[in-house]
Amino acid sequence: MSCQLTIRRATVEDAPYIFSIIQKAFKEYSKMIGQTNLEALSETVEDIAKAIQTKTVFVAVMNGNIVGTVRLSIDGDEAYLSRFAVDSDSQNTGIGKSLMNEVDAYLKKMNVKKVTLHTSSKHDVLMRFYYGIGFYVEAIETDRGYLRARMVKEYR
């Protein structure tokens, strides 16, 4: 049996599945960084449905099941990436990289010059992942009560 992965734009009907993946992934992230008041964990299915309608949200689908997601906000030639999550049972299988490749292609098509994200600077696995796909640390911020790396990737 082959596993077929597709990346597509999310629909409002995907919101409950995206909610489940974000909750699971960000609870694990929260434990790893020792921070419990993450904005992602207070989001509702309705919030996600609204984001799908007002922002660009991609999902990774494997064998009919949503296994990953990422959200983009575009403002002119800059974008902000958030809610990047892959189901824990599907991590380290290339799904995250496939999602980010789709993000790259989309942002280039939209003539975006720079994409920014935040992640805990203590989460070495995510830091290495982002470095490996071309992001660099632009600043370290403490505005949320923990050390967050503001990471940037530039497109030319």
Any idea which of 16-20, 99-103, 144-148 has the lowest mean pLDDT? 144-148
| Mean pLDDT estimate for the chain | 91
Q: What is the pLDDT of residues 63-102, one digit of tens each?
A: 999 999 999 999 999 999 999 999 877 777 789 999 999 9
Looking at the predicted structure, is the pLDDT value of residue 2 above 90?
no
Q: How many domains in the chain?
A: 1
pTM attached to this predicted model: 0.91
Among 25-34, 118-127, 129-138, top mean pLDDT goes to 129-138
111 has pLDDT over 80: yes
Q: Which residues sit opposite 114 in a β-bridge?
A: 78, 154
CATH number for 137: 3.40.630.30
Q: Determine the structural domain holding residue 64 and report its residue range.
A: 5-154
